[in-house]
Amino acid sequence: MADFTPNEIMTIVAARALKNDDVCFVGIGAPSAACNLARLTHAPQITLIYESGTIGTRPNVLPLSIGDGELCETALCTVSVPEMFRYWLQGGRITVGFLGGAQIDRFANINTTVVGPDDKPKVRLPGGGGAPEIATNCGEIFITMAMGKRAFIEKLPFITSMGHGPTGRERRAFGMKSLGPTKLMTDLCVFEPDPETKEMTVVSIHPGVTREQIAENCGWTPRYIDNVPETPAPTKLELETLRDIQARTKAAHAA
Amino acid sequence: MAQFMSLADAVAEMVRDGDSVAMEGFTHLIPFAAGHEVIRQGRKHLTLIRMTPDLIYDQLIGMGCADKLVFSWGGNPGVGSTHRIRDAVENGWPHALAIEEHSHAAMANAYEAGAANLPFAMLRGYIGVDLPKVNPRIKKVTCPYTGEVLATVPALRPDVGIIHAQRADREGNVLIEGIVGCQKEVVLASKRTIVTVEEVVEKLGTTSYNSVVLPHWTVGAVVEVPGGSHPSYAQGYYTRDNSFYIAWDKVSRDRDSFLAWMKENVLDKTPAAFAAHAKRTA
């Protein structure tokens, strides 16, 4: 088994979740790395869409922002931002929305707005951007986030984008047809929603990770499916492809 | 009607204290040179409108030009926080900053509604989230045909819209290519407009019949400022200066280093300083 970092297996597992025929709305950061790794390995025909308006983009280096020129130059076409949100996202053309976040709860609701009360914020985060509408207008949502007690918390101070709602029942109550978060890929394990309660439940544990580690990095007591399998370790091809694009990206951004 | 002006004259004529101002460009073509001129002329009490405040509003807010920020994602893309905006929101430095926060979809729709001369925009959005609890301008409407409840936001009709574009011709017709963002909507929604361009040419040299062209009679001031969107970029002219965005994190973290940077690179400079950046090849 090759050596790999927790962050590398998180990105690789996230990439594996994507299919060749997906139309994927890509968030910046970890989601962008995972989506392009998928494109460069098992899903060469995947359609990647960034909210800056680039459709079918195939960047050679990972963008620092969602609007780097590389995205436009390698895209099939580029549309205006109002068109992107109206016709393509709200129009129901996107199969998978791929999000990151600062804080998440057991029903995969996400906070990227503020830590502390909103009228007197302690730490002001960037806010929602495209996420509130990505979360509800895509066929399903994948989330990738590293675990930690400050990130995986019992009760969010603010819901920036809805997962399965504060009780796990809100999607059905709103009559929503989209599935919401179906996978949460972390640096320690993978969660999927329980079919009934919608609580995010551990469905595989990465090689070498213990349940104690998962508990120590989770603000609620996580549930597990019966007979949790081990996540298949990264392959040589996956690791080399990821490291190649990250090295190219680092060199390009420093130039 | 397009009028060719110097940047100093354009800002002096178009931007007034207390105005609502939208400087748009979605990562691409951000009008930094015009933003710096607004800072140099010491405009105050502005309501700044931008989907992604980016470094340009970090600079304007850090220099005390704004009373209010209307936005939908306020970070340094791919890097982290916009520290001057955070300092204003969290600590009231250099003075208190009111915020009106939306999602990207809502702001894009609101600009489009402004351009379309409608009073509000409607979207299937803000479902199951907390933003409507802290932003009373987000409301609801019931579809008269289906009964579906949809979110609404008021149209954006800025006093001044400011954009940067690749080029204008001698009449003042404007070409924008690449990631076109919502610049067309901003210009058509705004009462007064400033368009800075990389160059003024005899013919626009459009590569397609559908390239974005703002007819000269839809724009106000047209100003040639080569390099005028650095550290953002102008597709076909120069690339995004990602290393600058990374370096800004350290410059802007500390009030004194921010003020020293602004004095050296903005207050003591003229728009001509941007020409050095136009030489980065795309």
DSSP-assigned beta bridge partners for residue A24: A48, A96
**Range with lowest mean pLDDT among A46-55, A228-237, B15-24, B199-208:** B199-208
CB atoms within 10 A of CB A146: 15
Averaged pLDDT of chain A: 94
The pLDDT value recorded for residue B210 is 81
Q: How far is B12 from chain A, CA to nearest CA, in Å?
A: 30
The pLDDT value recorded for residue A117 is 63
The pLDDT value recorded for residue A121 is 61
**Range with lowest mean pLDDT among A27-41, A215-229, B164-178:** A27-41
The pLDDT value recorded for residue B279 is 75
Count of CB contacts below 8 A, A vs B? 178
H/E segment holding residue A135: helix A131-137
pLDDT tens per residue, range A117-144: 656 667 889 999 999 999 999 999 999 9
Q: What is the mean pLDDT of residues A45-66?
A: 93
| Chain-chain contact of A127 with B243 (C-beta, under 8 angstroms) | no
Q: How far is A175 from chain B, CA to nearest CA, in Å?
A: 11
- At the second CATH level, the architecture of A6-250 is 3-Layer(aba) Sandwich (3.40)
Higher local confidence (pLDDT), B45 or A65: B45
Map out the domains of chain A as residue ranges: 6-250
Active site residue A240: no
The pLDDT value recorded for residue B211 is 85
The pLDDT value recorded for residue A58 is 95
The pLDDT value recorded for residue A122 is 79
Local confidence band at A67 (pLDDT 50, 70, 90 cut-offs): confident
A113 in Cβ contact with A68 (< 8 Å): no
From A8, A51, A170, A199, the catalytic residue: A51
Instruction: Kindly tell me the burial class for residue A66, based on how many C-beta atoms sit within 10 Å of its own C-beta (0-12, 13-18, 19 or more).
Output: buried
DSSP-assigned beta bridge partners for residue A218: none
The pLDDT value recorded for residue A35 is 95
Domain B3-102+159-270, CATH homologous superfamily name and number: Glutaconate Coenzyme A-transferase (3.40.1080.10)
Quote the tokens at residue A220.
């609620």
- Chain B residue whose CA is closest to A158: B130
Local confidence band at B209 (pLDDT 50, 70, 90 cut-offs): confident
Nearest to A69 among B26, B184, B282 (CB): B282
Mutate to test the interface with B, among A32, A64, A88, A134 (most CBs of B within 10 A): A64
- Chain A residue whose CA is closest to B98: A119
Task: Calculate the alpha carbon distances from A255 to B239, B243, B249, B280 in Å.
Answer: 11, 7, 17, 11
pLDDT tens per residue, range A140-177: 999 999 999 999 999 999 999 999 999 999 998 888 88
Quote the tokens at residue A49.
């869409």
Cα separation, B247 vs A253, whole angstroms? 11
Q: What is the mean pLDDT of residues B133-162?
A: 97
A75 in Cβ contact with A86 (< 8 Å): no
Report chain B residues whose CB lies below 8 A from the CB of A52.
26-28, 179, 181
- Chain B residue whose CA is closest to A160: B129
Q: Which residues contact B158 (CB under 8 A, 6 or more apart)?
A: B19, B20, B21, B22, B49, B114, B186, B189, B190, B191
| Chain-chain contact of A68 with B182 (C-beta, under 8 angstroms) | no
CA A175 to chain centre: 24
The yes-or-no verdict on residue B245 having pLDDT over 60 is yes
pLDDT tens per residue, range B259-272: 999 999 999 999 99
Q: What is the mean pLDDT of residues A58-71?
A: 89
The yes-or-no verdict on residue B244 having pLDDT over 60 is yes
Dihedral angle, C-alpha A28, A33, A34, A36, nearest 10 °: 100
Q: How large a percentage of chain B has pLDDT more than 90?
A: 94
The yes-or-no verdict on residue A1 having pLDDT over 90 is no
Q: What is the pTM of this model?
A: 0.95
